[in-house]
A and B are shown apart, each in its own frame.
Chain A
Amino acid sequence: MGMLRVLSRNGDDQHQWNLPAVEAGDAEAIAAVKEAERIFRDQRARGAVAVRVAPGKPAERIDEFDPNAQEILMVPRVIGG
Chain B
Amino acid sequence: MSDLLPAGVFLVIALIATGRIVLLLSAWPGASSRLWPWLRLQRWWPVPADHAAETLLRQMLTPEEYDQLKLRAYLDIQSRAHLGRLYRVPRGPGQVQVLEGGRVVERLCVQPLDSLPEADVILMHKMLIEADESSYLATANHFPRAVWR
A79–B132 CB distance below 8 A: no
Alpha-carbon separation in the docked complex, A80 to B139 (Å)? 5
B56–A12 CB distance below 8 A: yes
Q: Which of B60, B109, B114, B132 contacts A76 (CB 8 A)?
A: B114
- B contacts with A: majority SS: helix
Distance in angstroms from B65 CB to nearest chain A CB is 12
A77–B112 CB distance below 8 A: yes
Q: Which of A8, A59, A77, A80 contacts B127 (CB 8 A)?
A: A59
| A residues less than 8 Å from B60 (CB atoms) | 53, 73
Would you list which residues of chain A between 4 and 57 have a CB under 8 Å from chain B?
Answer: 5, 7-12, 47, 49, 51, 53
Contact with B along A50-70 (1 / 0, CB 8 A): 010100001111000000000
B127–A78 CB distance below 8 A: no
| B residues less than 8 Å from A10 (CB atoms) | 48-49, 52
Distance in angstroms from A34 CB to nearest chain B CB is 25
Given contacts A47-B113, A73-B127, contact A80 B50 (CB under 8 A): no
Distance in angstroms from A68 CB to nearest chain B CB is 18
Interface residues on B, range: 20 to 34
A75–B51 CB distance below 8 A: no
Alpha-carbon separation in the docked complex, A73 to B127 (Å)? 9
B135 at the A/B interface (Cβ < 8 Å)?
yes
B53 at the A/B interface (Cβ < 8 Å)?
yes
B127–A12 CB distance below 8 A: no
Distance in angstroms from B137 CB to nearest chain A CB is 10
A49–B131 CB distance below 8 A: yes
Would you list which residues of chain B between 13 and 51 have a CB under 8 Å from chain A?
Answer: 48-51
A residues engaging B (CB < 8 A)? Answer: 5, 7-12, 47, 49, 51, 53, 58-61, 73, 75-81
